[in-house]
Amino acid sequence: RRREANLSAIEILVLDEADRMLDMGFIHDIKKILKLLPRKRQNLLFSATYSREVKKLADTILSEPVEVEVAPRNATADRVDQEAFEVRQKSKRSTLSSMISKGKWSQVLVFTRTKHGANRLTTQLNKDGVTALAIHGNKSQSAREKALASFKAHKVRVLVATDIAARGLDIVSLPYVVNFELPNIPEDYVHRIGRTGRAGLSGKAISLVSETESEYLIAIEKLLKKRIPLFQYREDDDNLEIERLSSSPPLHSRSNNRSHPNQSTNSRPPSRKRRSQRNKTGRKGNAKSDTNQKSRSPTKLQDKTPKPRHWKPRKIRPASMK
């Protein structure tokens, strides 16, 4: 617009994180830039995820493109161990603090959906004695670089980030990624947990799932074409539960061919009526859990995930807190 750059000699156009660059928030700016470039050029698009919608947009700016896949589309690293924990929304912060402290995690990247949520969680973790810093779009570039440097140098244990701020982060041997809130866009889950398990190293991705986020979990599993083990973390008796989880046997494989319902990626939470129905189911399940816990005998906990037609409820297994 300011005519300060001459683009007439451009030969190659590269769009990294193409799924984000071509979503509806950036596509108009991209098209304006394309009009200023020579018609004869090479276009290269790179992305870890590639939805049908993004492919349609890419086809509008590309001519007879060749698609090269170095890994299956929307795939996660084989070395990333994925787990989900069913947690009440109001108990998420205390659960996360407990996991970090009792598990003696030295370095954790935590994702939230909003900037304010990142700030709030950072403040709460520091009050719990867990050192934390936040990075998001409202932070200056220097503040983000300083926070990231402190995290890499192990001066703080937790880095709380939003999706856009965390794009492109490269943290050597990051052991843990936590989804404090599940993303409403399933592809963002792949990008989040891709921060760990890099360069042939192993990593662990943990998601804290409230009752209102169960549909997001289903959408993520549908994208990945596999189930994510779902556990329950009880905050009422942490010492007993941690011991039980630590001595639990390895997970048994389970069938991945159960059909999922069609899932929308709309960011709105489930309706009040549906949430009320799940709450009724949840109270019944909790009553059974409390009764069994008094006797300290192994329990089969009831899953609070909505039960659409043709979708069988999963069993919640004891978890491993390594």
Q: Both 155 and 50 in a single domain?
A: no
Contacts of 165 (CB under 8 A, 6+ apart): 135, 136, 137, 139, 144
Q: Both 130 and 197 in a single domain?
A: yes
What pTM did the predictor assign? 0.61
Q: Both 49 and 93 in a single domain?
A: no
Q: Both 96 and 214 in a single domain?
A: yes
Give the three-class secondary structure for 108: strand
Q: Provide the pLDDT for residue 88.
A: 92
Write down which residue in 241, 257, 280 finishes a domain: 241
Q: Provide the pLDDT for residue 33.
A: 87
Q: Both 216 and 79 in a single domain?
A: yes
Give the three-class secondary structure for 314: coil
187/185 Cα distance (integer angstroms): 6
Q: Both 93 and 31 in a single domain?
A: no
Q: Both 113 and 191 in a single domain?
A: yes
Q: Both 80 and 207 in a single domain?
A: yes
Domain total for the chain?
Answer: 2
Q: Both 19 and 150 in a single domain?
A: no
Tens-digit pLDDT profile for residues 177-224? 999 999 998 989 988 998 888 777 889 999 999 999 999 999 999 999
In a domain, 312, yes or no: no
Parent domain of 38: 12-61
Q: Both 99 and 198 in a single domain?
A: yes
Q: Provide the pLDDT for residue 3.
A: 74
Q: Provide the pLDDT for residue 300.
A: 40
Q: Both 37 and 143 in a single domain?
A: no
Q: Provide the pLDDT for residue 71.
A: 64
In a domain, 104, yes or no: yes
- With contact defined as beta carbons under 8 Å apart, do 47 and 18 qualify? yes
Arithmetic mean of pLDDT over the chain: 75
In a domain, 165, yes or no: yes
In a domain, 86, yes or no: yes
Tens-digit pLDDT profile for residues 45-62? 888 777 777 778 788 878
Tens-digit pLDDT profile for residues 60-106? 878 888 888 776 665 666 789 999 999 999 999 999 999 999 999 99
